Structure 1
Amino acid sequence: MRFSIPHLALGASLAVHSAAARAVVAVDEDPAAVQTRGLVGGLVGGALGTVLGLGDVLKQLDQTRDPGTILDILNGVKPRATPTSLPEVQETLQSIYGAATPTNLFTNVALQLGAGLGPQEGGKDLTSIIAELLDGENSVDNSNNPTNVSRPVYPSAAAGDAPFSVPEAQLRAAIQIPPSFTFGAKPPVLLVPGTWSYGGSVFGANLRKLLTGSPHADPVWLNVPGGMMRDAQVNSEYVAYAINYLSAVCGNNSNVTVVSWSQGGLDTQWAFTFWPSTRARVSSFLPVSPDFRGTVLANALCLSADSELGLGPCDPAVIQQEHASRYIETLRAAGGDSAYVPTTTLYSGFFDEIVQPQHGAEASAYLLDARGVGVVNVEAQSVCPPGSPGAGFYGHAGMLYHPLAYALVVDALAHGGRTGDVSRVDVAGLCSHYAAPGLGLEDVLATAGLIPVALGLMLTSPDKRLVEPPIMPYAKALPSRE
């Protein structure tokens, strides 16, 4: 039996969650403190869990650290509710993820699935969805063999570039170029996904949908083998190659605009840092929910049947995204804490359930501008008027449909691929919407469903480690701290 979640039952708690989250995070920017909050166990969304009848499920999830058991439990969660409006989606997501004290992400995902905010189209469970994920738009084996490559891009596009460890055929096959692509008649836009995801599904219901057909954008996307779960340094090779390849096949010195999500932003910055040739081929960089300083919540995703939460093995890219990882330290020490190209970062303050801290100048998404190329750091809740929908709850995936985020992407593209300019867009009008114009309830639900699918991919990924991959020789690793 399906039903809509009663607004009155949740209304009082939502206001408390929002105010508490702002109060706690605003005065507590210390990463160690944020990490402590992120590792606290216990049930979340108690009222919602009761409404959905998921009390026993939440208890089971809170008591296990075994990936297979967690996946089995999540597979058994069926939608108990049907969201009927965008305000209801935002309110429900806030009731799940908006608590002042972040808790077990797997119990949160169970609540999300039970509230009808997951990807269970046609009654499929997470295992079935993941099994079908690499078909079609998420293919990692695409045939890209145009003959009009105007300059060499492999084994090196220019002197000073890092060497590739991945064969060119594999790098090229990860780029999905739709049949409508004009090869330079319109500005190419490269869409780069995040951890536990592929470009087709990440952007299909949001930015790619909106940009397709635009006179200022011609989107293609990356599907990195392994779903961006393997060594982030290798993931960055796919980004570096795709930038130079797309620019070369489009001819006339075409430059690329890069739009990324999550780890995609971090790896693009790594590509700019160690493949200098890419910088001259990019007009604008627009990372959504990036983690340039990593996240203090990464450890909370490392688990096994024999460990406490946060102490188990993790996917290589997750360890590399820990706040104090060698990957993060190496990038920042090499100059990656500042932009190399005109950059507009787009992120949600306080409410990002994956990346923290994410507020003010200490936000992980915050980039400096030491090179004077132009940087605009856009924290949605600090730009949208207080009390407007756009200043409300948007999580890690929610920024992909945020109306201000899309407007600034379009603004950057329409103005020669520079930075987006808040002064050129109708902030008040945009922030009065819950989602970018052109997106509806189905699109928002599909985007929100990226988080459960990502967690499902994490639970099934085979390559788990206790330490991050060694820094590549070209990156001039920092001296040992031991």
Structure 2
Amino acid sequence: MRFSIPYFALGASIAVHDTAARAVVAVDEEPAVESRGLVGGLVGGVLGTVLGLGDVLEQLDQTQDPGTILDILNGVKPRATPTSLPEVQETLQSIYGAATPTNLFKNVALQLGSGLGPHDGGKDLTSIIAEHLDGENSVDNSNNPTNVSRAVYPSASAGDAPYSVPEAQLRAAIRIPAAFTFGAKPPVLLVPGTWSYGGSVFGVNLRKLLTGSPHADPVWLNVPGGMMRDAQVNSEYVAYAVNYLSAICNSNVTVVSWSQGGLDTQWAFTFWPSTRARVSNFLPISPDFRGTVLANALCLSADSELGLGPCDPAVIQQEHTSRYIATLRAAGGDSAYVPTTTFYSGFFDEIVQPQHGTEASAYLLDARGVGVTNVEPQVVCPSGSPGAGFYGHAGMLYHPLTYALIVDALSHSGEPGSLSRVDVADLCSHYAAPGLTLEDVLATAGLIPIALGLMLTSPDKRLIEPPILSYAKATSRV
């Protein structure tokens, strides 16, 4: 079953409001963000009718209770399943590319009903989430070596920030697969994003492609709480993992991240300077170095415009006007510390906005001259080609340019990925990286419903972001 839904760009803008309930500071001038919408709510109406989800969408409009929303989503069963990669792209575009981003849960319901979610085998979202918290997503991994070649804890360098997490817990969050070579091949650290764990984020896309490569030996992070807690603490896991992996492998590390994982890696580079010399390349996918003006829309509230509902700490910290973002950028985190290649979709990241051009949240400067390549496929790929089409927040994990430039960077240690060294025309002619199947792409798209389900079940909700820790206050200019 295919959906062909026309869409229209409306010139509305999304306003982010400072409120007494948020501890915020002014940073850059508020960027203008184009909100894509449908005349008369065409996507929700037409697609919802096709899928028989009219009542579901109406119910989601009438509640802000996380448990109720999860119960509603649990009842959505797939009415159709895409049978080709072009159909996946077209269906995702019909859901996210044209809907005003005010109720992501309605879009997730449409995604689940379109067969683009994790509802396989008749299991509901709650059951899938429960299974999601074990195995490759375990936060308690006991096979990691304790004999390291140099000190990494409590500090790898006198200039590093202090850790608040015990070393055993930091180490247990690193998942090292049985086939890891401990330095015979370059180690690659995979860092997940908000409401996710490294095992499932990368297992059906980049880890699958990198496993067996002569240029990469992937391991991944499973941060307790699924990256929903204080982002400053999440960053400790990244900083420790970089120094630990470098020590046990006697080599530098490449970091590949998704979403908040990129932001927290940049925080680690900023406040744990020892990590910079241990990283050959940084390859963040859909990062939000400037935060996102859509963070408020993820906060459940009767007043969704103001976003006054309680949020996970890391979500509040990713608001465009948060102190976390301001502190990072004021301390120099708006520019790369190591060779960096960023990947972001200008059409349309449903989680991070703005995400287009030099004002994109993912766009990183190069004041230190280390080498930066900022890759927006809708700019790089010829207009009308598959690679210039719709890719959402998770879609960049399977974009052909993403994998090709990761391999290019790994093959040229100490340099960012270079578009001049890859066959851009050929890559842009594909919907997904060669080697990935339709099932892999569907599973990657299904990361968004799982992430939103994890958000609905997380217990730590706040109105005010965690305070900036003393080491960051002393270093930054905020």
User: TM-score scaled by structure 2?
Assistant: 0.93
Q: SS where residue 89 of structure 1 aligns?
A: helix
CA distance in 2 between counterparts of 1:404 and 1:81 reads 29
SS of alignment partner, residue 451 of structure 2: helix
In structure 1, the partner of 2:108 is 109
SS at 1:121 equivalent: coil
- Count of residue correspondences: 462
- Given that 1:384 and 1:390 are in contact with CA atoms closer than 8 Å, whether structure 2 keeps it comes out as yes
- CA deviation string 1:365-392 (max 9, x = no partner): 0000000000111111000111000000
Please tell me whether the aligned partners of residues 61 and 70 of structure 1 are also in contact (alpha carbons under 8 angstroms).
yes
Q: Would you say the 8 A contact 1:81–1:114 is kept in 2?
A: yes
Which residue matches 1:79? 78
CA 1:472–1:83 in 2, change beyond 3 Å: closer, same or farther? same
Looking at structure 2, the residues matched to 294 and 217 of structure 1 have their Cα atoms a distance apart, in angstroms, of 30
Show the counterpart of 2:470.
473
- The answer to whether the 8 A contact 2:331-2:476 is kept is no
- Mapped to 1, the partners of 2:181 and 2:477 lie a distance apart of 48
Query: What is the aligned partner in structure 2 of residue 345 from structure 1?
Result: 342
In structure 2, what residue type is equivalent to 1:104? N
* Distance in 1 of aligned mates of 2:85 and 2:202: 19
Distance 1:199 1:365 in 2: 20
One-letter amino acid matched to 1:199: G
1:453-464 superposed matches below 5 A: 453-464=450-461
| C-alpha distance after superposition, 1:219-241 (max 9, x if no partner) | 00000000000000000000000
The CA deviation at 1:308 is 4.2
Equivalent in 337, 355, 378 of residue 358 of structure 1: 355
Question: Does structure 2 retain, via aligned residues, the 8 Å contact 1:35–1:297?
Answer: no
2:326 corresponds to which letter in structure 1? Answer: E
Change in Cα spacing, 1:235 to 1:340, as seen in structure 2 (3 Å) is same
Q: Distance in 1 between matches of 2:42 and 2:298?
A: 16
Q: Equivalents in 2 of 1:397, 1:308: separation in Å?
A: 24
Q: What CA distance in whole angstroms lies between the structure 2 residues aligned with 1:206 and 1:299?
A: 29
Partner of 2:447: 450
Residues 39-83 of structure 1: per-residue CA shift (max 9 Å, x gap) = x99784322111111111111111211111111100000000011
- Shifted more, 441-450 versus 129-138: the winner is 129-138
Give the residue type in structure 1 aligned to 2:167: E
Q: Show CA shifts across 1:258-292 (max 9, x none).
A: 00000000000000000000000000000000000
Instruction: Give unpaired runs (5+ residues) of structure 1.
Output: none
Offset at residue 34 of structure 1 (A): 3.1
Tell me how far apart the structure 2 counterparts of residues 223 and 246 of structure 1 sit (CA, whole Å). 15
Partners of 1:278 and 1:425 lie apart in 2 by: 29
- Measured in 2, the distance between the counterparts of 1:167 and 1:147 equals 14
Q: Distance in 2 between matches of 1:143 and 1:236?
A: 21
Instruction: After TM superposition, give the deviation of residue 311 of structure 1 in Å.
Output: 1.6
In structure 1, C-alpha distance between the alignment counterparts of 2:403 and 2:434, rounded to whole Å: 9
Aligned residue number for residue 429 of structure 1 = 426
* Closer, same or farther: CA 36–98 of 1 in aligned 2, 3 Å: closer
Q: Which residue of 1 aligns with 2:369?
A: 372
Residues 458/333 of structure 1: CA separation in 2 closer, same or farther (3 Å cut): same
Evaluate the alpha carbon distance shift between residue 354 and residue 325 of structure 1 in structure 2; reply closer, same or farther with a 3 A threshold: same
What is the deviation of 1:101?
3.0
Kept after mapping to 1: 8 A contact 2:31/2:354: no
TM superposition shift of 1:144: 3.7
Give the conservation status (yes or no) of the 8 Å contact 1:314–1:464: yes
Q: For the Cα contact (< 8 Å) 2:97–2:390, is it kept in 1?
A: yes
Secondary structure, counterpart of 1:189 in structure 2? strand
RMSD: 2.2
Structure 1 partner of 2:22: none
For residues 164 and 275 of structure 2, the distance between their equivalents in structure 1, rounded to whole angstroms, comes to 17
Show the counterpart of 1:225: 224
> What letter corresponds to residue 80 of structure 1 in structure 2?
R
CA distance in 1, matches of 2:395, 2:245: 28
CA-CA distance at 1:145 after TM superposition: 3.9
Encode CA deviations 1:74-101: one digit per residue, 9 max, x unaligned: 0000000011000000000000000163
| C-alpha distance in 2 between matches for 1:41 and 1:177 | 50
Mapped contact 2:78–2:115 kept (Cα < 8 A): yes
Alignment-derived partner of residue 198 in structure 2 = 199
SS at match of 2:111: helix
Deviates more, 1:307-316 or 1:217-226: 307-316
Q: Does 1:386 align with 2:380?
A: no
Contact kept? 1:31, 1:357, Cα under 8 Å: no
User: Is 1:95 equivalent to 2:94 in the alignment?
Assistant: yes
Answering whether residue 407 of structure 2 is matched by residue 410 of structure 1, we say yes
Return closer, same or farther for 1:33/1:100 CA change in 2, 3 Å cut-off: farther
Considering fraction of residues, name the structure with more helix. Answer: 1
What is the SS of the residue equivalent to 2:375? Answer: strand
Q: CA deviation at 1:148?
A: 4.1
Q: Which runs of 4+ in 1 moved over 6 A?
A: 35-38, 40-43, 477-481
Q: Which residue of 2 aligns with 1:164?
A: 163
SS of the equivalent of 2:93 reads helix
> Cα–Cα, structure 1 residues 238 and 41, in superposed 2: closer, same or farther, change >3 Å?
farther
Q: Deviations over 1:207-254 (max 9, x none)?
A: 000000000000000000000000000000000000000000002xx0
Instruction: Note the residue ranges of structure 2 that are not aligned, 5 or more in a row.
Output: 14-27
Amino acid at match of 1:383: V
SS at match of 1:340: coil
1:287 aligns to what SS in structure 2? strand
The residue aligned with 2:260 is: 263
Aligned 8 A contact 1:240 1:272 in 2: yes
Checking the alignment, whether the CA contact within 8 Å between 1:406 and 1:436 is kept in structure 2 is yes
Q: Distance in 1 between matches of 2:472 and 2:35?
A: 31
Deviations 1:1-32 (A, max 9, x none): xxx23x4xx15x1xx34xx27x878xxx9846
Aligned to 2:33, the other structure's residue is in SS state helix
The share of aligned pairs that are identical, in percent, is: 85
The match for 1:289 is 286
Counterparts of 1:320 and 1:416, CA distance in 2: 32
Give 2:177's aligned amino acid.
P
Q: CA deviation at 1:103?
A: 3.2
Distance in 2 (CA, whole Å) between partners of 1:47 and 1:55 is 9
Distance 1:281 1:360, change over 3 A: same
Question: Which residue in 2 is equivalent to 1:301?
Answer: 298
Q: Aligned partners of 1:24, 1:186: CA distance in 2, in Å?
A: 50
Q: Determine helix, strand or coil for the equivalent of 2:255.
A: strand
Which range moved further: 464-473 or 145-154?
145-154
Partner of 2:184: 185
